[in-house]
Every structure is written in C-alpha cells, then in structure tokens.
C-alpha cells in the first residue's frame, strides 16, 4: 500500500493493509511478514511454542540481518533454554514510553512548521522515552481474540510513535501489550530484516 503526500514523497501506508487483513482474518492466530523481509521457516513453530509454554497471547522474536544463506532455513535452537523477556518487563516499558504531552510525532515525511518541530524536540527530550518495542516488533504472533479495539493507527493518532521514522509497528505492539497483558519476547533471531538491503548484493539479487 502506498500513499503520496503533496510534495510527491512516498509515505508508507502499510498500516492500512494490515488493518484490512486483520478485518478479514477468521483464524485463531495472526502474524505479519513484510514482502521485503524474510524469516526462518520455523518462526511460527517457535513463537507458538512460546505462546503455549508461557500462556501468552502475543509473542515477538529477535532479528538478524538478511542473508540468502539463512532464508528458507530452519533455525536450530533448544526452545526450552531460550532467554525470555517477561510480561512485567514489557508492561514497564509500555508505561515508560507512554509518557509525553504531544501526541503527533511530526514525521520527517510531513509538512511541519517551526513551532511543531520545537514541540516535538521538547517532548522527545523531557517528556517521553523512545525505547524500541523489544526485539522484532514487525513480526508478532498474537491471538485474534485479544485484539479488541487494537489496530494500526495513522500517524497523528499514535500514542507510541517512533523517535525516528513513523512507528506503526511500535505503536501497535505497545498497545496490544497494554491490552492483553500477557506479552513476551523470545530472544532467538528468527526474523531476517532487510538491514542495508540495497547494499546487500544477495538480497538485491533475490528480490
């Protein structure tokens, strides 16, 4: 999904596509994966195992840089010895990063006036924390039953915007964690992120 602002800049509007996809989903579990990312083929298996073992409704895993050698492979891991970011730790991060006065994140892709830019800098420095959602928030696995009102919000609505970029995944996962109160993170690098993708010849050749 693409959106173009009046300057002609491309603005990522994938949040619309994800909301539409969730509205059509009728299975018990939902996850996402961007077309320009990859993951180990047992990502779902390990996330589901963590969900069942820790009675969680929302599970994220760690990431590593994309590599053609890793894509479409199984990650060999002893899932009973994984390091886990527990629910209490995540909920503390939720509250820490919810503080702030100015709701609008003033993305670099929007038309900003001087006063709004000053307000954003003040908010960022003194009122709000900008910790990332733990691990790789772009590929959560969660139960459809805990969604409730949670959805991907457009830029100006986000309560947990990103200090850099737009923060759609960050906002969604913090909101879902606050809602379901059973979120965990598994520290195993199953997500293959396109980090420096344009400089990664194997990535470019494959895509």
Per-residue model confidence as pLDDT tens digits over 67-124: 888 878 899 888 888 899 999 999 999 998 886 655 544 444 444 556 656 666 666 6
Question: Tokens 């039953």 appear where?
Answer: 145
pLDDT for 207: 41
Query: Do 130 and 161 meet the contact criterion of CB atoms below 8 Å apart?
Result: no
Considering the domain 2-206 in this protein, what is its CATH number? 3.90.550
**Cα 41 to Cα 17, 76, 99, 192, distances in angstroms:** 23, 11, 38, 11
163 pLDDT exceeds 90?
no
SS3 call for 50? helix
| Residue boundaries of the structural domains of the chain | 2-206
Express as a percent the part of the chain with pLDDT over 90: 46
Query: Do 107 and 155 meet the contact criterion of CB atoms below 8 Å apart?
Result: yes
| Mean pLDDT, rounded, for 149-172 | 84
pLDDT for 15: 86
- 55 or 159: whose pLDDT is higher? 55
State the Cα–Cα distance between residues 37 and 139, nearest whole angstrom. 10
* pTM of the model as a whole: 0.80
Could you give the angle at the alpha carbon of 33 between the alpha carbons of 55 and 76, nearest 5°?
65
Neighbours of 42 (CB within 10 A): 18
Query: Do 159 and 171 meet the contact criterion of CB atoms below 8 Å apart?
Result: yes
The secondary structure of the chain in percent helix, strand, coil, rounded to multiples of 5, reads 40, 20, 45
Task: Return the structure tokens found at 141.
Answer: 């696995």
183 pLDDT exceeds 90?
yes
State the Cα–Cα distance between residues 140 and 169, nearest whole angstrom. 9
| Mean pLDDT, rounded, for 41-56 | 95
192 pLDDT exceeds 70?
yes
Query: Do 137 and 147 meet the contact criterion of CB atoms below 8 Å apart?
Result: no
pLDDT for 109: 42
151 pLDDT exceeds 60?
yes
pLDDT for 58: 98
């Amino acid at each position: 999904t693409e959106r173009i602002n009046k300057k002609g800049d491309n603005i990522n509007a994938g949040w619309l596509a994800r909301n539409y996809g969730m509205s059509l989903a009728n299975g018990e579990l939902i996850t996402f994966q961007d077309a320009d990312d990859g993951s180990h083929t047992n990502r779902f298996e390990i996330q589901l195992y963590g969900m069942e073992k820790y009675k969680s409704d929302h599970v994220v895993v760690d990431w590593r840089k994309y590599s053609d050698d890793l894509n479409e492979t199984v990650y060999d891991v002893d899932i009973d010895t994984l390091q886990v970011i527990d629910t209490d730790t995540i909920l503390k991060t939720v509250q820490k990063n919810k503080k702030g006065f100015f709701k609008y994140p003033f993305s670099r892709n929007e038309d900003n006036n001087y006063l709004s830019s000053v307000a954003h800098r003040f908010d960022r420095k003194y009122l709000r924390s900008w910790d990332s959602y733990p691990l790789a928030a772009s590929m959560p696995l969660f139960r459809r039953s805990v969604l409730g009102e949670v959805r991907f919000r457009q830029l100006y609505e986000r309560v947990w915007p990103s200090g850099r970029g737009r923060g759609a995944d960050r906002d969604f996962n913090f909101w879902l964690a606050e809602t379901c109160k059973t979120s965990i993170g598994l520290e195993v690098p199953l997500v293959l992120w396109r980090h420096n993708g344009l400089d990664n010849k194997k990535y470019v050749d494959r895509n």
